[in-house]
Amino acid sequence: MSTAGSPGRVQPARPGDPSRIGPYRIIGRLGAGGMGTVHAGLTADGLRVAVKVIHPAQAEDPEFRARFRREVQLSARVQGPCLVPLLAADPEAAAPWLATAYAPGPTLNQYLADHGPLTGGTLYAFAAGTAQALAAIHAAGVVHRDVKPQNVILGPAGPRVLDFGIARAADGTSVTRTGVMTGTPGWISPEYYRTSTAGPEGDLFAWGALVAHAATGRLPFGVGAPDAVAFRVMSGEPDLDGVPEALLGLVRKALAKEPAERPAAASLAEECTRLLAGQATQVLDAAAGAEPTRVGELVTAQWHIPAPDDPTWHPPAASSRRRALLAVLVAAVLVGASAGGALALRTGGHDDSVGRGAAGHATAGPAGASATTRAGGAAHVTPPSPTPGGTTASPTDPRRVAIPVDPLAGISGPAFTRAGDESEPTTDEWRASAAASTAQERAVERAVRADVTAMLATKHMDFMTPTVTFNKRAQTVMVTGGPVSQLPDDDQGMFERAGEMAACTALAHRLQDEPRAWPYGRYVVAWRHVDGDPEPDVLGFGEATDGCLTRIAGQWQGDQGGLAAAGIPSSDKAEIRVADAADKAITAEWNSRIAQGDGLAPFSDRNAISLGFDPVERAAYVWARDTNEVLVGRAQRDNFQDAVSKTLCPKLTAEFHRNPSWNYTRWSVAVYEPDGSDPELVRSGECLP
């Protein structure tokens, strides 16, 4: 749980969120994690702060509260360049909290993924700044113990190290208990693997790995299973090919297997600052060593990371919580979107004679990636290769490949024999599942993982990478997330729906292509709260012979799960752009109809109309908060949905033809009544024939 995230992008506050925490006015959210929520706050004079509030379950644990109290006390002493300072905290509050200055910019891992390795003066500034930050932390008697790319922000003036001394309490990784390994593989020191010793030397080992990663874009000890990474950390040599010669010696020393052979942070900071000064056009007395207060100036002078798009944070208007920053997406978690809602709609409530995926309709798939296609019969997500100026969707456009409605229709003797079996899968079946062992299973595993990740990425949730396993006897594919304890309901609901859709799509295609050879037709979506969890929570299950989209009388229907997903702010630039344009167009159309004297009235709140996207069923949702009963009658609601469909469909269709990554071709309209009851889904439809 950190201040990291899209720069300046404040998510709307959720129902039950506080309006004030300590001296800070809360205007929205910056993020959430398994151990708490990060709120966007403002001081009385407009300073932006990140206020982290611990979940009640941790607050009720006396041991946790004691650790949190101690680490707050230590962290308050840490000051220096390239740090995000602790501003205030209340460890004794019913919901303990702490506030830090807000650090705009991408994390190191986000930047490397988008732009590649750091080079030149920027790399030396990164090495010097992070070393100086660790020196300041250690001088205050604090050990970071979680140095990794996700905890370093590349801000407009240099790197900023996050979560010193506190992140481990807030994220559940600060105290080593007997038999419990904490930390992140690849950033854990050899001595910690051997003896669970977490001292300042471990931070220096992680610093060496961090600088190597920044310089090369690769993880110095590779990727793979945690035990394989641990083996390489303890006995293998790091991959340092590409680290500049001047930095190579310092990085090698920091990555020494024995803690005593590593330099102190202060010594590293001094050496890195001298190297940085050598890169500068104006040397800041390198021979004598730069003063700590001047390190930040030197880092800033050599820092060449573009300033992030960081618009001003605005407090929410009193009449609406819908728009916190971008005037596009929705305000709150929607009432009634329970985790079981999507499952209930997947196992019933549709016209079986038609199914949920009619031929010629675009398939469900993630925004930001070309839709589900097939390779060797397995559904998978293929990123598009747009041509200059965009492309026009053709009849063979992979986005138009339909999900088979009844893939075993007319097949005698199929390998999948449990069609129509509505019995709930057991935890024993989940435990007996195994990793993919055949080429076909591996293809399905890749398809499901890619599809789930792409859907979740549009909501800042792609950290929930699924594990896909197979139980041939149960003829079931298991899609498992975690381990993350106390996952927020919104995240869990999104993972459930994405996992169900991805598994259903992949299995339906495979059943159709190899009906007499492919034995898997059922799927389970589960969540583990801790490593080694013997009984994960089963979030949902179903079978791919039943169709994967909800249809009633042949028409696609929106549902509460999709409406809830649309209420989660998007991270996709195309979605934000289209939503903004469509929102304005719908409002203008409604105002035009009012002016024509059709017996329609304006909404009391100028921000009453909202729009968001559900990446699972590729649908745009529009909803109105009808506080003054403008849509109380059926005629008024029909008029409103007509205004929405006639205005929204041209926007979605134009983007579909212009942008080969665009997948949204469906729409649904909902109305919130003044009594606060669950929203009513008025009508749904599709824009493409």
**Mean pLDDT, range 415-423, rounded to an integer:** 88
Region of poorest pLDDT, from 131-145, 149-163, 347-361: 347-361
pLDDT tens sequence across 303-322: 877 766 655 565 554 333 22
Q: Domain segments of the chain: what residues?
A: 20-302, 339-560, 570-686
Quick check: 644 pLDDT over 60? yes
Report helix, strand or coil for 654.
helix
| CATH architecture of the domain with range 20-302 | Orthogonal Bundle (1.10)
Strand partners, 42: 25, 48
Query: Which H or E run includes 526?
Result: strand 522-527
What are the pLDDT digits (tens) for 215-250?
999 999 988 777 788 888 888 899 999 999 999 999
Q: Which tops the pLDDT comparison, 169 or 294?
A: 294
Helix, strand, coil fractions of the chain, as percent rounded to 5: 35, 15, 50
Token pair of 458, please? 């549009």
pLDDT of 370 > 50? The answer is no
Give the Cα separation of 48 and 313 in Å (integer): 8
Q: In this structure, what token pair is assigned to residue 678?
A: 């669950």
The span from the CA of 644 to the CA of 667, in Å, is 9
Residue with tokens 């195994």: 434
| Rounded CA separation 436/520 (Å) | 12
Lay out the sheet containing 666-672: strands in order across.
Answer: 609-614, 619-625, 666-672, 680-686
Mean pLDDT for 253-275 is: 93
Confidence band, pLDDT 50/70/90 cuts, at residue 280: low
**Has residue 177 got a pLDDT over 90?**
no
CA–CA dist 359, 403 (Å, integer): 8
176 falls in which pLDDT band (50, 70, 90)? very low
Q: Is the pLDDT of residue 4 over 50?
A: no
Counting Cβ atoms within 10 Å, is residue 435 exposed (0-12), middle (13-18) or buried (19+)?
Answer: exposed
Which one is predicted more confidently, 377 or 168? 168
Asked whether the domain spanning 570-686 has the same topology as the one spanning 20-302, the reply is no
Share of the chain above pLDDT 90, in %: 32
Six-digit token string for 667? 């729409």
Task: Please report which residue ranges of 183-291 form alpha helices under DSSP H.
Answer: 190-195, 200-216, 226-235, 245-254, 265-279
**Secondary structure class of 435 (helix, strand, coil):** coil
Give the helix/strand (H/E) hosting 32.
strand 24-33
Q: What is the mean pLDDT of residues 3-14?
A: 59
What is the model's pLDDT at position 340?
29
> What is the per-residue pLDDT across 377-395, written as a single tens digit (0 to 9) for each?
333 333 333 333 333 444 4
Spatial distance between the Cα atoms of 169 and 256, rounded to a whole number of angstroms: 28
Reported as half-sphere exposure (CB side, CA atoms, 13 A), residue 90 has a value of: 12
Q: In this structure, how many other beta carbons lie within 10 angstroms of the beta carbon of residue 383?
A: 12
Q: Which of 45, 61, 90, 146 is catalytic?
A: 146
Burial of 287 (0-12, 13-18, 19+ CB in 10 A): exposed
Buried residues in 119-130 as b, exposed as e (16+ CB within 10 A): eebbbbbbbbbb
The DSSP code for 347 is H
**Mean pLDDT to the nearest integer, 353-368:** 31
pLDDT at 355 over 80: no
570-686 sits in which CATH class?
Answer: alpha beta
Q: How far apart are CA 602 and CA 608, in angstroms?
A: 10
Mean pLDDT of 514-528: 94
Amino acid at 475: Q
Write the CA distances from 646 to 251, 454, 578, integer angstroms: 61, 29, 15
108-112 long-range contacts (CB < 8 A, ≥24 apart) are: 108/149, 108/150, 108/152, 108/153, 108/154, 108/159, 108/210, 108/213, 108/214, 109/149, 109/150, 110/4, 111/154, 111/305, 112/149, 112/213, 112/214, 112/217
Round the average pLDDT of the chain to a whole number and report it.
Answer: 77
Residues in a beta bridge with 621: 612, 668
- C-alpha to C-alpha distance for 608 and 610, rounded to whole angstroms: 6
Give the SS3 label for residue 368.
coil
What is the per-residue pLDDT for 587? Answer: 87
Average pLDDT over residues 325-334: 28
Tens digit of each residue's pLDDT (9 = 90 or more) over 586-630: 988 888 888 887 678 887 767 778 899 999 999 999 988 877 777
Q: CA-based angle 343:347:350, to the nearest 5?
A: 115
Preceding omega of 244 cis (within 30 degrees of 0): no
* pLDDT band, very low/low/confident/very high, at 330 (cuts 50, 70, 90): very low
Of 484, 435, 447, the residue nearest 463 (C-alpha): 484
DSSP state of 307: P
SS3 of 382, please? Answer: strand
pLDDT confidence band for 286 (50 / 70 / 90): very low
- The H or E element spanning position 680 is strand 680-686
| Tokens found for residue 650 | 């041209």
Taking each helix axis as running N to C, give the angle between helix 120-139 and helix 245-254, from 0 to 180 degrees, rounded to the nearest 10: 30
The one-letter amino acid at 467: T
Q: What is the pLDDT of residue 329?
A: 27
Is residue 241 part of the annotated active site? The answer reads: no
More confident residue, 284 or 54: 54
Closest CA to 37 of 172, 170, 146: 170
Distances (CA, A) of 387 to 384, 660, 661: 9, 9, 12
Q: Each residue of 72-109: pLDDT tens digit?
A: 877 777 878 888 888 889 988 989 999 988 888 888 98
pLDDT at 205 over 80: yes
Using alpha carbons, select from 235, 247, 303 the residue that is nearest to residue 272.
Answer: 247
Mean pLDDT along residues 560-581: 87
Nearest to 616 by CA among 500, 510, 464, 524: 500
Work out the pLDDT band at 34, boundaries 50, 70, 90: low
CA 53 and chain centroid, separation: 19
